[in-house]
């Protein structure tokens, strides 16, 4: 399971997101965003890599594509005997809405740090710690509702299927949901 969460997966995933979304952002804005180190410092595992991808280096993009192809092949081989993976959605419990410290035309910055079992994580890193590695793989995902915490906020998990096995994943999710949320029949 460790290969899913290797540092290179986050680096390449972020760079790919930056490269691809950067095509929609004027070069001057991308340049200014890369120069503003606050967001990258607050999110070393996600935003920093996106900013690197904003450079739009074709050579680097090709290296990332090669890494992703090899990573996907390796992950498929590692998990060929499994029908699905059940993983957390985030590294933190659900929380009430937090306002950004800055919002520049929809580009938001947060200075919130969450304490987790893996140590302190910034806002974006905590939210993407378990989703980005699956996004990089491109595997299908269903979010399962597991219940609510003491504050009435949702608790869930991501059920990750194999490539091309979307129908099987949906069937498995329906079966799990039926078991998890069976009506309670009072005993006589």
Q: 45 pLDDT exceeds 80?
A: yes
pLDDT (tens digit per residue) in 108-149: 888 899 998 888 999 999 999 999 999 999 999 999 988 888
Q: What's the pLDDT band for 37 if we cut at 50, 70, 90? A: confident
Average of per-residue pLDDT across 56-74: 96
What's the pLDDT score for residue 13? 95
| pLDDT over 60 at 65, yes or no | yes
Tokens 């009506």 belong to residue = 183
| C-beta neighbour count of 159 within 10 angstroms | 21
pLDDT at position 34, please? 84
Q: pLDDT category, 8, cuts 50, 70, 90? A: very high
DSSP state of 111: -
Supply the CATH classification number for the domain 2-180.
Answer: 3.90.1300.10
pLDDT score, position 58: 96
Question: In the prediction, which pLDDT does 2 show?
Answer: 56
Beginning with the edge strand found earlier in the chain, give each strand of the sheet holding 154-161 in spatial order. 84-88, 154-161, 141-148
Q: What is the pLDDT of residue 89?
A: 92
pTM of the entire structure? 0.84
184: confidence class by pLDDT, cuts 50, 70, 90: low
pLDDT at 32: 86
- Ordered by start, the domain boundaries in the chain are 2-180
What pLDDT shows up at residue 160?
97
Two structure tokens written together for 38: 């606050």
Say whether 127 sits in a helix, a strand or coil: helix
């Amino acid at each position: 399971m460790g290969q899913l969460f290797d540092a290179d997966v986050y680096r390449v995933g972020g760079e790919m997101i930056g490269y691809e979304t950067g095509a929609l952002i004027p070069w001057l804005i991308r340049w200014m965003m890369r120069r503003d180190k606050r967001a990258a410092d607050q999110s070393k595992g996600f935003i920093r890599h996106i900013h690197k991808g904003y450079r739009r280096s074709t050579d680097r993009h090709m290296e990332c594509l090669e890494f992703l192809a090899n990573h996907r092949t390796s992950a498929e081989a590692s998990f060929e005997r499994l029908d699905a993976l059940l993983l957390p959605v985030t590294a933190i419990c659900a929380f009430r809405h937090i306002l950004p410290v800055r919002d520049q035309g929809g580009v938001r910055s947060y200075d919130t740090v969450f304490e987790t079992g893996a140590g302190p994580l910034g806002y974006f890193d905590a939210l993407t710690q378990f989703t980005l590695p699956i996004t990089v793989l491109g595997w299908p995902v269903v979010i399962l509702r597991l219940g609510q915490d003491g504050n009435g906020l949702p608790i869930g998990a991501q059920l990750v299927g194999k490539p091309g096995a979307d129908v099987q994943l949906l069937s498995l999710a329906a079966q799990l949901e039926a078991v998890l949320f069976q009506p309670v029949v009072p005993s006589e």
